[in-house]
Amino acid sequence: MYLILIFLYILLIYQIYKLYKNYIKYKYDNDHLQSKNDLQIVEVEVIENCQDDEIQSKQEIEYNHEYDFDILVKKSLYNPMKDGLYGFSNLYDLVICEHELIDEPFHSNFYEILIFLSDNEFMIVDPSSKVINLNIRDENNQMKTSKSYNVFSLKDIYEFVIKSLFNKMLKLKKEDAQNIIIAIFVVLLEKSTHYNASESTANMMMRILNNYEYKDEIMNIVQLIKSDSNEYSFIKESINTSLLNIETYPYNDFEIQKPLKIREELPQKYLKNF
């Protein structure tokens, strides 16, 4: 009889232990399932067009609904420092990286403009500069008259105007802001001259905008700026302000002409986390 009671007691303890163990397992499985329901995987697919080539990158990003999180997305960008655009690195970062005006075809066309300005010496004559006539002998010992005056660098003016107006342009629709950025380049290019005077600025401009999808819209904005339209008066005011704040450089029209440089194709993009 005594042995039977001991056996029943042990059996009772075992059943209690078994129930407790099942309870722990149930609680663990339930908590684990709840955690899995809270955790989702978001698949972000970014497709960027690099001229004729499409670059596709796919990322899986895990996040918990209960907490704040940052989504890292790879985007296709150019590399101004690598491509020799040292003076335009900050402007590219401002327009493309910080404010993500990364849509094509604007992105590539804007970069083509930066390359064009960086590779070539365009200048705008300082309207307040005094013209000095100089008599200079050429390589054949022939006397020639040259003119010296101060000029602005077109690349300096373009950077100044875009940076000074950028916050204002961000209040507009993205497409309008993008078109204005390119239209400002066209207006300044028409005001400028190049060491190689054999090609008109109009021809240079058409080279860059030839295949641009929104060329007509841009040229319409250009005409409104030139006609002193109130809608775009802020652009002309910024250009005039730039002439009061940017350094001038001495120039003599006797200098050897430099050929116009136009790259045949844009550099390759690379993927960068945003």
What is the rounded radius of gyration, in angstroms, for the C-alpha atoms of the chain? 33
Query: For the chain, what is the largest distance between any 2 Cα atoms, rounded to a whole number of angstroms?
Result: 137
pTM, two decimal places: 0.68
Nearest CA to 115 out of 238, 214, 208 is that of 208
**d(Cα 7, Cα 14) in Å, to the nearest integer?**
11
Alpha-helical regions (H) of the chain: 2-38, 89-92, 106-119, 154-169, 174-191, 201-209, 215-226, 233-245
pLDDT reported for residue 151? 93
**Residue whose entry in the numeric block shows the structure tokens 């655009």:** 85
Q: pLDDT: is 131 or 4 the higher one? A: 131
Q: How far is CA 114 from CA 5, 110, 200, in A?
A: 94, 6, 19
Extents of the domains making up the chain: 1-41, 80-273
User: What is the per-residue pLDDT for 52?
Assistant: 43
How do residues 207-232 score in pLDDT, each as one tens digit? 777 778 888 999 999 999 999 889 99
Q: Is 101 helix (H, G, I), strand (E, B) or coil?
A: coil
Please, which pLDDT band fits residue 83 given cuts at 50, 70 and 90?
very high
